[in-house]
Amino acid sequence: MPFQSKSKIVFLLCLLVFVFSACQQTPKNDKSSNKTNNKQEQLSKKTTSQPSSVNNKQLNTANKLIASVGDEAIAKVDFKKIYSVHCIACHGPKGNMSIAGSKALTKSKLDLASIVAQVYHGKGTMVAYKGTLSDAEIVAVSKYVKELQQ
């Protein structure tokens, strides 16, 4: 009998500690989940307020890329070959097709930096070409896209 009442007390104590800690944790959890909700809200706000093409950080990278590549390096690039190997599949031989959900380049209004940014970083189903193409190749093929624009 004394053993039983002792274990009852221990059980009750455990229960108390459990309830107490549970009560303390609930508001904490609420706070952190609120935080992540806020973060997610901020993120979605950010993405919706972004310009439709590329973000500023990507534009900065693109401008640096353009500045770092010399005219000579660009002149050496066979941009038509690069285009036909890497871009034709989705944009068509004259850049006027929208295959696989892509946009017709002839109708594009983007400036050179935005084009470089898009080719370098990719967007949507369009893959990023950094690592695949050299900086000079990316700038050269982007200049070609600029020529294709009507």
Residue of 21, 137, 15 lying closest to 74 (CA atoms): 137
User: Least distance in Å: CB of 79 to ligand HEC?
Assistant: 9
Q: Is 140 in the site for ligand HEC (CB under 6 A)?
A: no
How many C-beta atoms surround the C-beta of residue 115 within 10 A?
Answer: 24
For position 100 contacting ligand HEC by CB under 6 A, the verdict is yes
DSSP H helices, the chain, are: 2-49, 56-68, 71-75, 79-86, 88-91, 112-121, 135-148
Piece of 19-27, 35-43, 61-69, 111-119 that binds ligand HEC (CB under 6 A): 111-119
Which of 87, 136, 139, 148 touches ligand HEC by CB under 6 A? 87
Among 128, 121, 132, CA closest to 57: 121
Q: What's the closest the beta carbon of residue 147 comes to ligand HEC, in angstroms? A: 11
Helix, strand or coil for residue 126? Answer: strand
Nearest residue to 104 via CA among 112, 113, 121, 92 = 92
* Choice between 8 and 81, CB closer to ligand HEC: 81
Residue 130's SS3 state is: strand
Q: Which stretch binds ligand HEC (CB under 6 A): 12-20, 57-65, 69-77, 121-129?
A: 121-129
Which residues in this chain contact ligand HEC in the complex, by CB under 6 A? 53, 86-87, 89-91, 100-103, 105, 108, 110, 115, 118-119, 123-126, 129, 141, 145
